[in-house]
A and B are shown apart, each in its own frame.
Chain A
Amino acid sequence: MVRLFRGLWCVNQRVDQWRAMRAIHEALRVAYPFILVMALIDVVGQGCLSKSGFFFQVYHIGSWLPGLEFWRDILQAVSVVVNGLVAVMIAFTTGHYMARTYHADALTVGLMSALAFLTLNVNYDTFGQTSHGNDLAQFWMPNLGPQGIFLAILVGLGVGWLASHLMQGLATWWRHHRHTSLSWTGRVAWSLTIVLGATVGIGYGLSWLTDGGINDLVYLALQTLNTNPGHNGLRILLVTSVSNGLWWLGLIGPIDVAGNSSVTSLQNLAYAVQHGSGWGAPHAITLHTLGDAYANFGGAGMTLALLIAIWIGSRQASYRRVATQTVLPNLVNLNESTLLGLPVLFNPILLVPFVLAPAVNIVLAWTAITLKLVPPIVYPVPRTTPGPLVAYLGTGGDWRALLLSGLCLTISVLIYLPFVRLLNTEGGADHAA
C-alpha cells in the first residue's frame, strides 16, 4: 500500500514537470472563476427555476415566485454565454500558457488557438443555406460548452506548440532568405494562415465523416460501446468506470447516466405503481438503479465525497477554498467546477479514487439489491436531486435506501481521504513559486 502511494506520488511529480501539464494547470486556474460563476448560475437555473429542477418542485417555486419567466430568461442568457463557450475559453487559456512556456507572444497564440478550436466545430451544413432560412447555428454549439473541454485542451496544446514555433521559425527563415526582419504583423498573419489552414482542413475532412463536428466523432465511438449495458452487474461496473475515466480526461458526459425515461425505468415505474413499491421490479439491476442512485453523489466520481474528504483531511488552502466554493453545485450534481477547479482533471493521484469510489459503491448497491436488502429505485427523480437523497426518494421513501446512501457516502469519503492526504505534501515547490 505504501509502495503504491509512493509510486503514485512519483508519477504525479513526473507528470507535473511536463510542459503540457503545467500549461493545463495554469489554463484551468484562470478559467476556474468563470466556471464557478457559471456553476452557481446553473444551480439556480437548473435546480430552482427549471421545471424539472429539484428545488423548483420541492419548494413549489413556480407557485410563489413572481416573474418566473423573466428570471428564467435572464439566467438562460448568462448561462448560454458563459456555459456555452467555456471550451473556447479553455482553448484560449491553454494556448496562451503553452506559448508562454516557449516565450512566444502568448496573447496572440491564445487567440489563434481559440479560433482554431472554433474552426473545428464549424457546421458546414449551414453554408448552403439562404440567409432567410436561419434554422441552423453556424457552430456546433454543444461542443463549445463543457463537452468540448477535452478537445479544447488538445487544440490549445497543439496550436500553442505549433504557433509558437511557427512564429519564431518564420522570423528566422525570413532573416536568412530576405535579409530583412519580418514584421510582427507578418509573423502573426502567416502563422495564423497556416494554423487555420490546417484546422479547417481537418474540420472539413471530418465533416464528411460525421454530422456533429469533430467532438461528435469521439462521443459517437464511445456511445456505441456503452449505451446499453443491460442488467449485467459487471458490465455496468465497467461502463461506469470507463465513463468516469473519460470525465477525468475532460470528456464530460459521453454516457448519459441519468436514465429516468429509458424503457426499463418506465417498466419499473409501471410495476411500482401497480404493486405499491419497487420490491420485485422487473429491472432491479440497471445503470440507473445502481449508478444514478448510489454512485453519482455530486456527479461523476462521487465528488461530494471528495469535497468532504478535503474538508476533513486537506491542508492545502487552495483545495479547501475550491471545496467550499463548489459545494452548492455539487449538491445538485453539477460538478464541472470542482473537476476544473481543483483540478481533478489530469491529476494522476485523484484518478484512482475518482474511478474506485463509484465502482465500490456500485458493488455495494448491487450486493444490497441482489440480497434484497433494499428495493431498486423506481420513481423518477429530478436530475438535480442532492445525491444522497436520490435513492431515498427514488424508492418512494425507503429508509434502508437512505441508510445505504449514507454508507456509500462514508465509504467514498474513506476512499478519497488517503489520496487527499497524499496531495497535502504536494506543491512545496509548485505553490510557493
Chain B
Amino acid sequence: MRRSWWRWALLIVVILAVFIPSQVWLKQRVTKYKSSYKTPLAPTIMVPGSSASQNRFDTLITQLRKETKKSHSVLKVKVAESGAISYTGNIRQGDNHPFIVIAFENNRDGYANINKQAKWLNLAFKDLVKTYHFNHFSMLGHSNGGLILSLFTEKYLAQTKHVTPDRLMTIATPYNMESDSTTKQTAILRELIKGRSKLPKKLTVYSVAGTENYSSDGTVPANSVNQGKYVFQNQVAHYTQITVTGDDTTHSDLPQNKQIVLLIRQYLLKETLPSKDRVPTTKRSQSKEADEMGLP
C-alpha cells in the first residue's frame, strides 16, 4: 500500500513538472507568434510634397504599372482641415501590395503646416489600419512629403500598436528646408533630430536626391537633403543616400525619373529586377523576408 502511495505521488510530481513549464512556454510562444506575424497585406503609403494633390503620383504609378507585371491598385485619401477623410479608388481584393496616396486639403509649405499635415496623416493612417488590418507597410515621400512621413513616424506611429514600417524612401526631401547651410539647423530639422530616438530600430531608409548642377535640383539644395543623415544615421537599421543626375532631375520631375522608378521598384517594392536594370550598389538577400516569419 505504501509503495503505491509513492507511485501516485511521483506521477503527480512528474505531471506537474511537465505541465507547469509547458504553460509558461505556451504563453511565450503565443506572444512570439503574435509579434512576429506579418499580414500578407503590406501597402505602400505615398505622401506628395507641398502644393501637390492626391494625384501627384499618377505619372509614377502609371509608369510602375507599365513596367511591373503586378498591377498595384491605388487608394487615394484626402484629409480635410477639419480632419474629415475622403477616399477615392479602392484596394482590389487579393492585391497585397497596393498604393495608398495620402494628400491634404491644406498642402501649404512651412513648419507649422507640415506639423499639422503629420497629424492629419496620423488620422488617415489610423483609419486605414482599422479598415484594412495590415500590420506592416512601406512609405514613399516626395519633397516635403518625406518630412511629413518622418515626423509622423517619430511622433505618432507609436499610437498604433503592433504596426511597423518596413521601408521609407524619401525623394528630394529637404530635411533642412530651403537652407543651403551645413551648420545652421532649421526648426523642422531640430525637431526631427530631437525625436530621432523614437524611430523604429528595424526601419530601412533611402534618401534619394536629384541634382541638376553640383548643389541643387533647382528647388531643393543638395545640402538640405544631405542633412537627413543627422536624423536617421545610427538610429534606423540602414540609412542609404543616393544621388541621381542626368535628364529629368529637376525637383518636380524626380518621382517619374526613370532611374528613381527603378530605385523604387528595387528598394521600396523589393521587386526582383532583371539584371540589366538593377542598381549595383548594395548586396542584399532576397530571401530575408521569408525568414522573419519565424515559423518552425
Contacts and interface: CB of A to CB of B under 8 A. Distances in A.
Nearest to B40: A270
Interface in A374-429: 379-380, 382, 386, 389, 393, 396-397
Contact of B18 (A270, A274, A389, A397): A389
A95 to B, nearest CB: 41
A380 B30 CA distance: 10
Contact of B296 (A58, A59, A260, A273): A260
Contacts of A393: 22, 26
Nearest to A402: B19
Interface string B147-183: 0000000000000000000000000000000000000
A15 interface: no
B6 interface: no
A379 B34 CA distance: 11
B21 A389 contact: no
A59 B22 CA distance: 8
Interface in B9-38: 18-19, 21-27, 29-30, 33-34, 37
B295 interface: yes
A382 B18 CA distance: 14
Contacts of B26: 379, 393, 396-397
A261 B27 CA distance: 20
B295 A261 contact: yes
Nearest to A380: B296
A59 B28 CA distance: 13
Interface in A108-125: none
B194 interface: no
B270 interface: no
B22 A261 contact: no
A23 to B, nearest CB: 38
A6 to B, nearest CB: 34
A389 B19 CA distance: 8
Contact size range, A:
20 to 34
Contact of A58 (B21, B33, B39): B21
B296 A52 contact: yes
Interface residues of B, number: 18
* A58, A270, A380, A382 — most chain B CB neighbours (10 Å): A58
A82 interface: no
A90 interface: no
A389 B15 CA distance: 11
Contacts of B202: none
B133 interface: yes
Interface in B36-54: 37, 39
A58 B25 contact: yes
* B18, B27, B39, B133 — most chain A CB neighbours (10 Å): B18
Given A273-B33, A386-B18, A397 B295 contact: no
A35 B122 CA distance: 64
B295 A266 contact: yes
Interface string A274-312: 100000000000000000000000000000000000000
* A52, A54, A273 — most chain B CB neighbours (10 Å): A273
A355 interface: no
Contact of B37 (A58, A273, A396): A273
Given A261-B295, A393-B26, A379 B21 contact: no
Interface of B: 18-19, 21-27, 29-30, 33-34, 37, 39, 133, 295-296
Given A52-B296, A397-B26, A397-B27, 17 more contacts: A57-B25, A261-B295, A266-B295, A269-B33, A269-B295, A270-B37, A272-B33, A273-B34, A274-B37, A274-B133, A382-B296, A389-B19, A389-B22, A393-B22, A396-B26, A397-B23, A397-B30
| Chain A to chain B: the 4 pairs with minimum beta-carbon distance, closest first | A273-B37, A58-B25, A58-B21, A58-B22
16 contacts: A52-B296, A54-B22, A57-B25, A58-B21, A59-B21, A260-B296, A270-B37, A272-B33, A274-B37, A274-B133, A379-B30, A379-B33, A380-B296, A393-B22, A393-B26, A396-B26
